[in-house]
Structure 1
Amino acid sequence: MEDWWTVQSMLVSWIMNTIEPTLRSTVTYMENAKELWEDFRERFSVVNGLRIQQLKADLADCKQQGMTMVAYFGKLKTLWDELANYEQIPRCSCGGCKCDIASKLEKRREEERVHQFLMGLDDVSYGTVRSNVLAVDPLPSLNRVYATLVQEERMKTITRSKEERGEVMGHVVQAGLKTKGRPDPKDKSMVCSHCGKTGHDGKSCFQIIGHPEWWGERARKEGGTNGRGQQRSGTSAGRGRGGMVRANIAH
């Protein structure tokens, strides 16, 4: 009897330490583990039908919708494990069954999970991979399908990173070509002592040092000279055929 009460006290302490703290006051003076457990069962036992229906509805609505493959599969796995606690596979109780029906039912359940997993994938990103997996006979295991899709996700991530780097480099090159050969913007507060215009000083005045190649028609209209002090001709200074050839070469 002493050993029996020792075990009872140990079991009661385990139950008391695992329940909600707010419920301990209602079972403070119970010393028998069976009576304590029966009291909880009568107060909190509910029918599982509503929870099973809710879990199946959550599985039907579970879609990837931009989530990573790990997050999407983890969400499904949580729902599958909880549903399996309510809907357990029946086992043979007669002892004379030799068809191994339990393993066949388990395989059918796994195939159903594979279909649920594939149905929730994003069509744009994984539509081709899903078709390839469904074309395999027999259908691969759930873990194998998950590993295949994780590899596909990694390949898409690498390809996307390369494309983004290429676009960035293209923008940099275009920006460099647009600004190539043109002077840096000057301070508007500067006033030239030679021509009286703002934005440059006397040392960088085009009327003294000559107009550059990109100045175009403005050099001829303003009567400017080139870098050697000679008058620019209409053919070479204009933005005509020669200017277009230089632009094509730069592009």
Structure 2
Amino acid sequence: MSGGDNSRGSNPVNVQNVQDSPFPTGVVLDESNYPLWSQLMKMRIGAQNKSGFLTGKVVKPTTNEKALEAWITDDNKVRSWLIDSMSPTLMRRFIRLKTAAEIWDAVSKTFYDGSDETQLFELNRKTFITRQNGCPIPTYYNELVSLFQEIDTRMNDNGNNVEATVAVNKALSRFRVHIFLAGLDPDINQVRSESLRKDPPLSLEACYAYIRKDLNQRQVMDPIPIEPDNVVNIATRNRPGKTKGSNEKGGNNFVCTHCGESGHSKLRCYEIIGYPDWWDFSKKPRKKLPQSQATVATSSQNQEGSPSCCSYLYESGCDICELSKNKRISYTPSECKASNPVAVIHSGVWGSAPNETPNGAQYFVTFIDECTRMMWVSLIKHKSEVFNAFKELHILIKDEFRRNIHTLQSDNGVEYVSLEMGNYCKMNPIRHQTSCARTPQQNGLAE
């Protein structure tokens, strides 16, 4: 037993009382950082269960000597935490105050006055002039949020009218979203417009997350630029006759079943697809084939036309030639989606059909909910009946779902941009968004 006790004593465990140990503040109080320092000290001292010594709620006892000694010890701890977190100049100013509450009040009166309109004006001015100016979006967002939080700390809220307070905070939140969006760089105009059209409106945090997500997607989806020299090199490597497998003896084991030559297959035999312009018949003349095979080769060349790079590329699969035939770049699919049902409705018209329905309808119009992808289809005789179909759908949604359509997305067809459709959308109110001319991709959900 004694040996076991000695072994334990040889490895002592140091136990330190957390309340007696000084805690690092990370911020030293000077003439300019009181708002940050005060918030940090409140958290640190509150975590030690000593907030009452700052506010004066823990009253100094007058009768019980043991309680008085304990109070003096705890108050000195809080005083030392406050003084240790100050610059040397401020230490000399506040160290002679007798209690922690006196130090806290003196510092507050020195650096902060909640009714100081000059400080509040300066903070608001900074929010108005803060711009991204090419810096990363997280840096710009964090700078704005710190200003907003300091403004909230300085603003007085009596809390007499709860409804009025909620309304003011809601309006203030929208105002700050507009400040954040206004300070972004011009290359984010598109996503800025999309965030303003969101229904319900995005909060400041949600707006920042939406823009940052779009920026990350654009960085991933941006194509890698191809240098012109690289394109020339690729085309040179794919030139016919210089590639293994041509009619020149090269490095493969193909044997043509048509002409009997090695180095190529029947699919790439020049006797069938035709000789290219660069072929030198003086060095290697045409093969003398039987009449039947020569007829096949001649007819094939007449049908296919004169040999060119395309006949070769059809077999080898040249990516450069395929991409050069594209008329436009592909549209990336939109990931925008309404958060509430029937808030955004996409619509499109199909027709005319070759055969009529028993009721004489040759067209149908679709209405698709962006949130749930639920679709309503109405058969119509003429495109001019689109307005009546939309009006009936709007009444149906209000009666059954107790909701209103906020946005109608369609193309620029005459049936959608009519005067009666415009007046109806203004009266309800419904925002009518239309795609650009000859760009059906922007109305892709309906198309």
- The bucket for the TM-score relative to the shorter chain is 0.5 to 0.7
Q: Distance in 1 between matches of 2:107 and 2:96?
A: 14
Shift of the alpha carbon at 1:88?
A: 4.4
Q: Distance in 1 between matches of 2:198 and 2:139?
A: 26
User: What corresponds to 1:187 in structure 2?
Assistant: none
Relative contact order: is structure 1 or structure 2 higher (C-alpha 8 Å, sep ≥ 6)?
Answer: 1
Q: Distance in 1 between matches of 2:106 and 2:133?
A: 45
User: What corresponds to 1:149 in structure 2?
Assistant: 211
Shift of the alpha carbon at 1:38?
A: 4.5
1:219-238 aligned within 5 A: none
Change (3 A) 1:180 1:35: closer
User: What corresponds to 1:112 in structure 2?
Assistant: 175
Q: Distance in 1 between matches of 2:159 and 2:200?
A: 25
Structure 2: tracts of 5 or more residues without a match: 1-67, 240-281, 284-307, 314-320, 322-447
User: What corresponds to 2:22 in structure 1?
Assistant: none
Change (3 A) 1:119 1:40: closer
Change (3 A) 1:152 1:41: closer
Shift of the alpha carbon at 1:75?
A: 1.9
Q: Distance in 2 between matches of 1:127 and 1:51?
A: 33
Give yes or no for contact 1:9–1:31 (8 Å, CA) kept in 2: no
Shift of the alpha carbon at 1:153?
A: 0.5
Q: Distance in 2 between matches of 1:75 and 1:42?
A: 26
Shift of the alpha carbon at 1:44?
A: 4.3
Give yes or no for contact 1:30–1:36 (8 Å, CA) kept in 2: yes
Q: Distance in 1 between matches of 2:134 and 2:87?
A: 37
SS of match in other structure, 1:67: coil
Q: Distance in 2 between matches of 1:173 and 1:87?
A: 62
Change (3 A) 1:78 1:37: closer
Matched, 1:66 2:134: yes
Change (3 A) 1:144 1:180: closer
Q: Among residues 99, 113, 133, which one is paired with 1:32 in the alignment?
A: 99
Matched, 1:173 2:236: no
Q: Distance in 1 between matches of 2:200 and 2:145?
A: 22
**1:101-148: per-residue Cα shift (whole Å, max 9, x none)?**
32222212211111112212223x322222222233432222222222
User: What corresponds to 1:101 in structure 2?
Assistant: 164
- TM-score normalized with structure 2 length: 0.35
Give yes or no for contact 1:69–1:153 (8 Å, CA) kept in 2: no
**1:162-212: per-residue Cα shift (whole Å, max 9, x none)?**
242xx24x431324657999xxxxxxxxxxxxxxxxxxxxxxxxxxxxxxx
User: What corresponds to 1:78 in structure 2?
Assistant: 146
Structure 1: tracts of 5 or more residues without a match: 182-226, 229-244
- TM-score normalized with structure 1 length: 0.58
Shift of the alpha carbon at 1:68?
A: 2.6
- Report the count of equivalent residues: 191
Matched, 1:129 2:191: yes
Letter paired with 1:22: T
When the two chains are superposed, the root-mean-square deviation of aligned CA atoms in Å is 4.0
Matched, 1:2 2:73: no
Shift of the alpha carbon at 1:16?
A: 1.2
Change (3 A) 1:154 1:43: closer
- More off after superposition, 42-51 vs 10-19: 42-51
Give yes or no for contact 2:195–2:210 (8 Å, CA) kept in 1: no
Give yes or no for contact 1:59–1:76 (8 Å, CA) kept in 2: yes
SS of match in other structure, 2:128: helix
Q: Distance in 2 between matches of 1:41 and 1:52?
A: 16
Change (3 A) 1:146 1:44: closer
Give yes or no for contact 1:8–1:33 (8 Å, CA) kept in 2: yes
Change (3 A) 1:90 1:172: farther
Change (3 A) 1:129 1:26: closer
Letter paired with 1:171: D
Shift of the alpha carbon at 1:14?
A: 2.1
Structure 1 or 2: more helix by fraction: 1
SS of match in other structure, 1:100: helix
Over the matched positions of the two proteins, sequence identity in percent amounts to: 22
Matched, 1:138 2:200: yes
Shift of the alpha carbon at 1:157?
A: 0.9
Change (3 A) 1:55 1:26: closer
Q: Distance in 1 between matches of 2:103 and 2:144?
A: 35
Q: Distance in 1 between matches of 2:100 and 2:86?
A: 13
Q: Distance in 1 between matches of 2:180 and 2:109?
A: 38
1:202-221 aligned within 5 A: none
